Structure 1
Amino acid sequence: MLLVTQGREPRRQLLLKPAPGSKQVVSAIHASSVTVETGGTTRRAPPAPSTRMTFIIHVQSVSPEGDTRYDFTLDAVDLLVHPGTSEQHVDEVRKSLAFLPGLTGAGLSGWRGNTLDLKLPAHLEPQRRRELQDLAKALQFVGNPFPQEAIGLGARWDQPLYGSGPVGTQGTGSFELFSLEGSRAGTRFLIQQTSKNQPVPAEYQTRSDSSERMMIRSQTKGETVFRLDRLWPASSEMEMRVQADLSSEKEDPPRRLKVITDVKVRLEEKDR
């Protein structure tokens, strides 16, 4: 983490330090849409239901350095159905998510890094397992977001990002402290990541000659409000756009495809 500017006085060191044994309930609403562009034609995918996931977080311990061990349970998953969504699609999504309520995990969060392990069913199909592992990677950013130095309003800092998985990306997260009052701190963020132009991973190839290539670019922006006595945010809103450019130069004419996924996430702490 690189501090760009400390911001205005008064300054203080900010650290999320929840009480051991404390409980937090957080609701996260996730909505997405997909647009496909090819051959000069743009097509929107059929609307998909949004999901509302309710997490229950239990803080197990907090070290003097601020490292927090916690576990969580995905208590409930509800579908929010948009007008025009086919009943068959709703049923398919509901069936695919049926095993999620009761899913558990354990994490460690602190300045030295975050880790999160999900306890996934052994019989889980590979694609669903990958999706949940991606969710775990996203949730690894939950935890202390502040630099170790004392900061004040207007402080800015950067965080290098190194992705993993079948299509690794690199980028930077830029943050700004826009509000600070008592035990509440608000940050704005802009996260940009890009992959190399590389062969399509084997599990996504449609040709046997491995000639297909792809490049991923993503941008995420939003605002988050933290309570310093809580581990997960009190509230957060973010918008993310992921663009995948795919090509197959050996086809005649060469195939070029652009898939754009827009995601909105709203997270809010609930009364216990």
Structure 2
Amino acid sequence: MKKLLLYSSICCLVTASGLTVNAETLSLVKQQAKTQIAAATAQPQVELLEVGNEPRQELRFRPQANAKQTSTMTLQMDTDVSMAGQTMPKVDLPPITVAIDTVVTKVEPNGNIHFKSSYSNVDVMNSSSLPPQVLEAMRSQMKKMVGTSGSFIIDNRGQIQTAKFASSQKSDANLKQFSEQMSTSFDQMSSPLPQEAIGIGAKWRVTTTPSLLGMSVQQTITYELVNLKDNIATLNIWFEQHANPQKLTLPGIPNGATVTLKSLESKGDGRLMMQLDRPFPLRANLIANSKNEMSIQQAGKAGEAIRNGKFYMRLNLMSK
């Protein structure tokens, strides 16, 4: 199940790095709601780099039907954007907390695992730098995500077989569209465990070529097994993203404008603890940094505006 958390984090990373942040926080929230995430273009490629020490075993997910977890995810983001050499006003974004309820609904004889996850609460933490009315508007928008749920089928290595998201009844059209796009993305995106038996010190690399926010991206995630005890695996993780120059279609761009990605580089690392008989990670900590450069050519105007963006994200998750 770890790949669901990781992919969500990476989507947040690429999404936020593509936003033009200004003083109107409400515009930021609206822009996030319009973000488009397209399907991955190929299945993940898993390469075992080191088998690790003896004793070795095949790592497999084996939860029981009706196994449940409640997880709390906290996401802290920071952005730094400049346009045509001028730094945009910075917004101190407060942390966002998401409560996730997960239950295993069925385990097939072949090891395929059916489970459901839903957002039982979404909140925006207090911020002394934002006006109270802006903070409440953010909370109101984010709480529309409460009730959003997903149904998944994965094999016992964590390879996604099917995935489907359903937005809450309170969601607006943008959030409903986001849920549909997430279904398509998750259906083709995963980070499976190695097929081979491994031990402490094992490393493996998962390579994918997703299309995120209209960008064709090369993505690599490397895992290292650092501990395995009482059915709990502890992993160090590193990921990198790179995108070559390409034309983009982004939300909020005026009609007739042309946006070209010049460069995108993202890196991150963290640690993950997962109990192999539970449907969601026990603990997760992830830090990610991203930078990109885009050129914007407006219709009927000579020259281009260069937009540079930097993005920082910290994600923490705890389950019980």
Aligned to 1:176: 224
- Given the alignment, which residue of 66, 76, 97 partners 1:31? 76
Sequence identity percentage: 19
Secondary structure of the corresponding residue to residue 94 of structure 1: helix
Q: Give the equivalent residue in structure 1 for 2:281.
A: 233
Aligned residue for 2:145, secondary structure, equals: coil
Candidates 204, 208, 222, aligned match of 1:157 = 204
For residue 203 of structure 2, what is the amino acid of its counterpart? Answer: R
**1:75 Cα deviation (Å)?**
1.0
Residue 64 to residue 143, structure 1, CA distance change in 2 (3 Å):
farther
- The answer on whether the counterparts of 1:24 and 1:269 sit within 8 Å (CA) in structure 2 is yes
- Residue 259 of structure 1 is matched in structure 2 by 309
Match in the other structure for 2:268: 220
Compared CA separation, residues 129 and 162, structure 1 to 2 (3 A):
farther
Aligned partners of 2:93, 2:188: CA distance in 1, in Å?
26
Instruction: Output the CA distance in 1 between the equivalents of 2:89 and 2:62.
Output: 44
Q: Matched residues in 2 for 1:141 and 1:202: separation?
A: 22
Offset from partner CA, 1:195-222 (integer Å, 9 cap, x none): 23111205443361x4331143322311
Cα root mean square deviation, aligned: 2.8
Question: Partner amino acid for 1:171?
Answer: Q
Alignment of 1:4-19 (within 5 A): 4-19=49-64
2:16 counterpart residue number: none
Q: Does the Cα contact within 8 Å between 1:52 and 1:80 map onto a contact in 2?
A: yes
Contact (CA 8 Å) 1:48, 1:89: kept in 2 or not? no
1:109 and 1:142 in contact (8 A); partners too: no
Shift of 1:140: 7.1
Equivalences for residues 84-123 of structure 1 within 5 A:
84-110=129-155, 111=157, 113-114=159-160, 115-120=162-167
TM (norm. structure 1) is 0.87
Which ranges in structure 1 are unaligned for 5 or more consecutive residues? none
1:70 to 2:109 alignment: no
Q: Partners of 1:141 and 1:264 in 2: how far apart?
A: 25
Q: Tell me which protein shows more strand as a share of its residues.
A: 1
* Cα distance, 1:134–1:33 mapped onto 2, change above 3 Å: farther
- Unaligned stretches of 5+ residues in structure 2: 1-45
Aligned length: 269
CA distance in structure 1 between the partners assigned to 2:226 and 2:145 by the alignment: 36
Q: Distance in 2 between matches of 1:12 and 1:131?
A: 39
The alignment partner of 2:133 has SS state of: helix
Say which structure is richer in helix.
2
For residues 158-206 of structure 1, the C-alpha deviation after alignment (integer angstroms, 9 at most, x for no partner) is 1012212422312211111111122111111111112231112054433
In the superposition, relative to structure 1, how do residues 201 and 249 fare at CA in structure 2: closer, same or farther (>3 Å)? closer
TM-score w.r.t. the length of structure 2 is: 0.75
Given that residues 217 and 242 in structure 1 are in contact (C-alpha distance below 8 angstroms), is that contact kept between their aligned partners in structure 2? yes
